[in-house]
Amino acid sequence: MATKCLMELQDQFVLPETLASALIEAAEELASQVTHQHAALLDNRDRLREKMIARKMIKSLDDAPKTEAIPVYAIDGGCGTEENISSAIFATVAIRIAPEQKDIRNLHCIGRLPHLTITGQLASGIMFMQEVMLANDASKEFPGSLVLIDGNRTGTLIQLNQFYSALAQDEGADLLQEWRRKENRTPAAMTVKEFESNKHLVEFLFSRFNLVGVTKLVSTTDLLTVLEEPYDISAIDDRALASVLLREGEYTTPIYPERKKIYKMRESYPYSHQVEQVLAGWHEKECPFAPAYVYFKPTFLHHALKIEVTSHYVKQGKLEAILHQLRREVWSNDIEEPYPLWLADTICKECIQTSIGATKEIMSTKCGKSDELRELLRGHRT
């Protein structure tokens, strides 16, 4: 009866005309701004492309000799949370895909947290810990392969720093210490202890030549900076710009981190000092582990990908071999990334949905006939 009344009330509700009008007006203004910026980019495409060519910023993979296939491993992760009246449950998973999908390895964690505003950050941090550990293991075990990671090493560092920063807040201050207790055998505690038991992050940043980052979500505008462009297209990131300016099989010459970008690691991470020493070394001219970023358009049907490789691979003349292999892995017009990464991502999404769905279903079953218990486990009503 109560549900029926609520549905009737919703049916009767009408958005106030003044509010609807204001929202549509704001949407129209935003749409005009976005389309204007994109039109400005397209209007200047030929000139910007010629400018990049004149500065020798564009190369074609078709001009490079064909190379032999390289074994590819892919690492990706997923996480999710579900809040109920009493607490929050979360699930994380990291997947490693082997060549031809002959072997799939994983690290997973399902747990419970008190109600915190940082629940999402904590689940994400645990997922990145799992990804780092899987990537390091694959890199050591198969040094002649490429180990693709979703995103890049800098992004992983930022996410883990946010994890430790979130735990430094008042509401999470005791949680990290609770996870570190030797007696705590919960999945989250075991993951954190395993990650902190060795210098996994230091190794990830400074010991693995064959890690290759593939980034789809890009926020940088380094290309515009290099081109010294004053145009009102600053809201268009490097990937969008490269997607418009590059042609099939073309890639940009490597871009290196700016010296002014100094990344930090929260002191609550046990090896924060070593991490910051590593990051300072990234700006040294001869550092072999420093990241180099390349934008690569594998086919005319795909957007450009932001690829992160180590400076070592660039100096060794291996960049083209990596791009040739990535081109082999991007064989579907419907997939915007190398197939092994897409497969790992798809499996991760299914794992998270299954984990949280199964947990909710089993909890409901265990409630038996107790409506009060079931009410405590009900999701938040909006």
DSSP 182-215: TT--SHHHHHHHHHHHTTHHHHHHHS-TTEEEEE
Give pLDDT tens digits along the chain (382 positions): 555 565 565 566 677 889 889 999 999 999 998 888 888 888 889 999 999 999 999 999 999 999 999 999 999 999 999 887 777 889 999 999 988 777 889 999 999 888 788 889 999 999 999 999 999 999 999 999 999 999 999 899 999 999 999 988 766 778 898 999 989 999 999 999 999 999 999 999 988 889 999 998 888 888 888 888 765 555 688 999 999 999 999 999 998 877 656 677 888 899 999 998 888 888 776 788 889 999 999 999 999 999 999 998 999 999 999 999 999 999 888 888 999 999 999 999 999 999 988 888 887 787 766 666 666 666 655 5
**Per-residue confidence (pLDDT) for residue 287, from 0 to 100:** 84
Task: Check: CB of residue 196 under 8 Å from CB of residue 181.
Answer: no
**Per-residue confidence (pLDDT) for residue 171, from 0 to 100:** 66
Domains annotated for the chain, with CATH where assigned, are 60-356 (3.30.2170)
Dihedral sign from CA coordinates of 243, 95, 309, 193: positive
d(CA 86, CA 105): 33
**Per-residue confidence (pLDDT) for residue 44, from 0 to 100:** 87
In terms of Cα–Cα distance, which of 259, 261, 218 is closest to 242? 218
- In the numeric block, which tokens belong to residue 375? 């009410």
**Per-residue confidence (pLDDT) for residue 158, from 0 to 100:** 92
**Per-residue confidence (pLDDT) for residue 40, from 0 to 100:** 84
**Per-residue confidence (pLDDT) for residue 231, from 0 to 100:** 58
**Per-residue confidence (pLDDT) for residue 7, from 0 to 100:** 59
| Sheet arrangement for strand 88-97 | 58-60, 250-252, 291-296, 305-310, 211-215, 146-150, 72-83, 88-97, 104-113
In terms of Cα–Cα distance, which of 12, 26, 15, 42 is closest to 245? 42
Phi, psi of 309 (to 5 degrees): -125, 170
> 109 by DSSP, 3-state: which?
strand
Tell me if the pTM is above 0.75: yes
Task: Check: CB of residue 214 under 8 Å from CB of residue 150.
Answer: yes
**Per-residue confidence (pLDDT) for residue 16, from 0 to 100:** 85
